[in-house]
Structure 1
Amino acid sequence: MISDARTLPDGTVIQADFCIVGAGAAGISLALGLSRSGYRIVLLEAGGEKEEAEAQALYEGRVVNPALHSPADSYRQRRFGGTTTIWGGRCVPFDPLDFEARPYVPHSGWPIGYEEIARYYPQANRLCEAGVFDYHSETAFTRPLKPMIPGFDQRHFTTDTLERFSCPTDFHVRYHEKLSAPNIQILLHANLTRIALSADGNRVTEVEARTLSGNSLSVKATCFVLCAGGLETVRLLLANRDVHGQGIGNLHDVVGRYYMCHIAGTMGGLRFSIPPESIWNGYDISDEGIYCRRRLALRPEVQRHEHVGSFVARLHHPRITDPSHGNGILSALYCAKPFISYEYAKRLFEDEPLSWQDWYRHLKNVALGVPDIMGFAWHMLRDRKLAARKFPSVIIKSRAGLYSLDFHAEQMPDPMSRVGLTHEKDRLGMQKIEIDWRYMSQDVHTVKRSLALLKQDIAESGVGSFDYDPQSVEKEMIRYGAYGGHHIGTVRMGTSPRTSVTNSDCRVHGVANLYLAGSGVFPTSSQANPTLTIVALSLRLADHLQSLDFSGT
């Protein structure tokens, strides 16, 4: 049953077995995992069924360095479906190495092994509608694929690993009907404001939610799970200080620390000496109709040897803002910048204004490239705008065999990179967040060393050359700041409350019936986009919660 909290009488009390807070990828996956248990489930969602400005405004906060991080209310959606309503659909699993305690990665090591997540990846792949769980090109296709780069040596890098793409699936739309099960009650516009604890602070007794229209409700449950995202979960834990003076789960000042996103950017010029038509930078479609893309991935044994984090790169079109690329499609995209959403425009364009001479050259590119632009426009209309499974991104084939390199790297966990609270409050009286995202010298080392190894592989293979300025690596890797909506590590799992917020089962240390789900519990970030692992970890949590004995509570 789906209802609106604004229609309930003020002071309504709801009884449940499980109370889940947040209806995004984590909350919906958890609810689906619990749905067949017969338990009474209440799912509180702060927004409605579409984006609403007044609800979204509750995400506003302060960013310490706006040049390094987007506004606090961007890349997040306070509505049913959460950020799955706007995500790009990229699905990638973490690697076994990501779960290990690596001496060259500070504060690394998960309290669970890769095999614990791997058991749930196939089901997560199905929920994300990304096809079968196979992320290697040699086994995922029944037909031979055209080589990505013929003759590439692959000494330090492999081109065998895949990215799979969801539709992208809006979890609200896709699972609306399944969430209408008789034992699930979904309340929209229910903004969690208070987490009430027992006098000894060891249990949650109830939670209270308020609507922007003024009424309130409370939920009394046996077990509570916060699935509100890596930033909002921090706010909820830190703002509730009536029993735990520093915030729930924060006895050792860990909540909000170790904040990671990803390190990403576009570097240099990769010029191939082999025939341009032999290069493959596009998508392969699997037998079940899934868009897949190969990329250049730094091998795990090389990461260990070189003491760097994980790193992947994709063949990318030249920088759009520079009209010297001479490509009408790219110039047309730049001219269409005002009509592209913030989340995608942030990666496509720099913020520096162009001179009138550059604008003239862009317009000239457009005028000369009308046939190509028309073909591209039809392709995007047919295969992206109108298609149920959308073409994932802009792919431009270079007739000259010239590409830039789009990279995505692991960010090291740093306790000084953190999310906290300001003194300013929102309309509901909740303190707003303050984001102080930082990066480390190890992050720069990962990118610098990986690029150098790739340059070496390309040269030794005899397939071309990769030219870039090593002195500009740090500048380029922070051009876009913290990457997108990947809010990772802020309520990390671990074995000790001195260095983590939850245990290996995602239960908050010291609170018997409070659990957290989402990328905030990841101890490390990998190179992988987090959604697939968020879903897998939520499904694992659902199984764990159903195995518990609540008869004595």
Structure 2
Amino acid sequence: MLTAFTELASSGALQSQVVIVGSGPAALAVAYALEERGVPSVLLESGEASKTEQWNVLTGGFKGADYGVADSYTQLHIRRQLGGGSNVWGGWCTTMREMSMSRTDIADYPQWPLKRADLTPFYGRAGTWLKIPDYEASLVDAIPVSGFDQLNVKPFRFSPPVRYGKDFSEHIEKSPKITLVQGVTVLSIKGRHGHAEALELSVGGEARTLKCGKAIVLAAGAVGNARLLARSAAELGVSDATSANVGRYFFEHPHCYSLARILFAPELAQELTKKQYQSSSFISLMPTADFLVKNKLTDFNFQLSTVPADKLDSREAAIAKNYKAIYGVEPAVYNATLGMEQTVHSKDFSVLDDGTLKRKNDGHLTLDLTAQKKIVDAAKTWLMANGAHAWVSPTTESPIVAVGHLHGTTRMAQTPDKGVVDADCRVFGIDNVFMAGSSVFPSGGFANPTYTIVALAIRLGDHLASQQKQI
């Protein structure tokens, strides 16, 4: 149901419900999973159906992708709006590769306290919820390219995309188990002795304190989750070891868009036309796990889409003509975008600064992506050695950019000295505060994160439902 804050505050309903901060993919997935188990929840959203006041988030040290929109990089992806980041989501869905959750060959590579198999059933439920056609195909870890033992394909599938605020608003309005309150900004969490008791809020510019119920789930994005926990850590009793990790280990999903135009040798070009390798209008070509381990490289994939003949420049057209003369077949020219796993996971990459803790700003994104050049160079060398006939670089070098997939600021770990939350997404040492969203990711591979965000959130909802008597 939809309700006003005054009604919520006077009803006392929060005493028996799970409170979820946010209304994006993670927040609503938790709420729906709870609803399926008969457990009520309240979602607190600072924005409304259309964008409202912007967050004061600073940036520096890295280049964000230019999507040709009026929004800045941060405001495009960090939104005060019903549905959160889903309002700009492209719908790309694939699962994380198993190796991206379990690398031990790279020094200081962050470890998940989960295995990929632990998420598989939740990926299935997430696929249905996200309305992904043939989502089962995206569960495949890798499809070997027949006849080319160094080449694999990772299938992607696409949500329509689901727009959470629009597509689920009618359901929320009618639901007796989900209550949505908009225009409420959560400032901090009040509590003591490792237990959260209330939320400090701003409602219409007025400070309010609201007692809360069995559990609090922060689903406010990678910056919002870190900010709220950092501002609340001392009062909640979060240990120094865990507090030292809050906001840190921020990482992105670097890309080089249109890195090159590529032609493949005829045998490979013919093989890649087969349906099993296709992801909508492109092919996601990636190396084998053995290659990555041998060379101690983080993961990458080439997103290959065909270029019509009339869109080729003079250099590309000449190479295509020469290809036909040599092989006697029409060439397929591919535009190649390189998607990469971030190479460096550093504690120095933080979304918080002193101003954030003093409430002078809402976060500060800092990142250094120069180390990704190693992946760009290795990816080119790998592809040229494994079936590429020609590589045509653009006249202007493609920059390495961040794409708005913010991860890692309250990362999951086995122990409090390595992260912020445990395998159940509970903050270490706090019995009733949980995190949802990509802030809990220790690593991300090259997969777009939304599918995994939703799978983890459904898993968290099930966990909270099963633990409701103990929370």
**Structure 1-normalised TM-score?**
0.71
Please list, as runs of the form range in 1=range in 2, the aligned pairs for 1:51-200 lying within 5 A after superposition. Answer: 51-52=51-52, 54=53, 57=54, 59-65=55-61, 67=63, 71-104=73-106, 106-135=108-137, 153-159=147-153, 161-179=154-172, 180-198=174-192, 200=193
Select 2:346's aligned residue among 414, 437, 449: 414
- Distance, in Å, in 1 between the alignment partners of 2:268 and 2:289 is 30
Alpha carbons of 1:47 and 1:234: their partners in 2 closer, same or farther (altered >3 Å)? Answer: same
- Distance, in Å, in 1 between the alignment partners of 2:342 and 2:356 is 30
Superposed displacement of residue 446, structure 1: 2.8
Which secondary structure does the structure 1 equivalent of 2:137 belong to? coil
Which secondary structure does the structure 2 equivalent of 1:447 belong to? helix
Which secondary structure does the structure 2 equivalent of 1:176 belong to? helix
- Distance, in Å, in 2 between the alignment partners of 1:236 and 1:89 is 28
1:157-215 alpha-carbon deviations (Å, 9 max, x no partner): 224x31101101112222223323112211011110120012x2x01011132123436
Task: Answer yes or no: is 1:302 the counterpart of 2:291.
Answer: yes
- Distance, in Å, in 1 between the alignment partners of 2:454 and 2:137 is 17
AA of the residue aligned to 1:536: A
Preserved contact between residue 135 and residue 162 of structure 1 (Cα < 8 Å) = yes
AA of the residue aligned to 1:410: E
Alpha carbons of 1:423 and 1:155: their partners in 2 closer, same or farther (altered >3 Å)? Answer: same
Select 1:325's aligned residue among 313, 330, 353: 313
- Distance, in Å, in 2 between the alignment partners of 1:20 and 1:38 is 16
Superposed displacement of residue 275, structure 1: 11
Task: Answer yes or no: is 1:312 the counterpart of 2:298.
Answer: no
Select 2:443's aligned residue among 488, 511, 524: 524
Deviates more, 1:31-40 or 1:492-501: 31-40
Task: Answer yes or no: is 1:259 the counterpart of 2:250.
Answer: yes
Alpha carbons of 1:220 and 1:445: their partners in 2 closer, same or farther (altered >3 Å)? Answer: same
Task: Answer yes or no: is 1:481 the counterpart of 2:470.
Answer: no
Preserved contact between residue 19 and residue 219 of structure 1 (Cα < 8 Å) = no
Superposed displacement of residue 62, structure 1: 1.6
Alpha carbons of 1:283 and 1:8: their partners in 2 closer, same or farther (altered >3 Å)? Answer: farther
Preserved contact between residue 188 and residue 229 of structure 2 (Cα < 8 Å) = no
Which residue is 1:346 aligned to? none
Which residue is 2:454 aligned to? 535
Superposed displacement of residue 73, structure 1: 2.2
- Distance, in Å, in 2 between the alignment partners of 1:439 and 1:480 is 7
Which residue is 1:223 aligned to? 215
Which residue is 1:355 aligned to? none
- Distance, in Å, in 2 between the alignment partners of 1:525 and 1:181 is 34
- Distance, in Å, in 1 between the alignment partners of 2:274 and 2:314 is 20
Which residue is 1:237 aligned to? 229
- Distance, in Å, in 1 between the alignment partners of 2:130 and 2:87 is 12
Superposed displacement of residue 126, structure 1: 0.9
AA of the residue aligned to 1:545: L
- Distance, in Å, in 2 between the alignment partners of 1:36 and 1:402 is 48
Preserved contact between residue 33 and residue 461 of structure 2 (Cα < 8 Å) = yes
Superposed displacement of residue 75, structure 1: 2.0
Superposed displacement of residue 96, structure 1: 1.2
Which secondary structure does the structure 1 equivalent of 2:458 belong to? helix
AA of the residue aligned to 2:198: E
- Distance, in Å, in 1 between the alignment partners of 2:461 and 2:429 is 20
- Distance, in Å, in 1 between the alignment partners of 2:116 and 2:289 is 14
Alpha carbons of 1:121 and 1:468: their partners in 2 closer, same or farther (altered >3 Å)? Answer: same
AA of the residue aligned to 2:384: K
Count of aligned pairs between the two proteins: 445
Alpha carbons of 1:324 and 1:405: their partners in 2 closer, same or farther (altered >3 Å)? Answer: closer
Task: Answer yes or no: is 1:509 the counterpart of 2:441.
Answer: no
AA of the residue aligned to 1:230: A
Note the residue ranges of structure 1 that are not aligned, 5 or more in a row.
141-147, 328-398
Preserved contact between residue 93 and residue 533 of structure 1 (Cα < 8 Å) = yes
Preserved contact between residue 165 and residue 292 of structure 1 (Cα < 8 Å) = no
Task: Answer yes or no: is 1:20 the counterpart of 2:12.
Answer: no
- Distance, in Å, in 1 between the alignment partners of 2:121 and 2:9 is 44
Alpha carbons of 1:279 and 1:162: their partners in 2 closer, same or farther (altered >3 Å)? Answer: same
Which secondary structure does the structure 1 equivalent of 2:376 belong to? helix
- Distance, in Å, in 2 between the alignment partners of 1:244 and 1:436 is 27
- Distance, in Å, in 2 between the alignment partners of 1:250 and 1:81 is 33
- Distance, in Å, in 1 between the alignment partners of 2:363 and 2:286 is 35
Preserved contact between residue 73 and residue 404 of structure 2 (Cα < 8 Å) = no
CA RMSD in angstroms, aligned pairs only: 3.7
Which secondary structure does the structure 2 equivalent of 1:526 belong to? coil
Q: Percent identity?
A: 22
AA of the residue aligned to 1:62: L
Deviates more, 1:533-542 or 1:211-220: 211-220
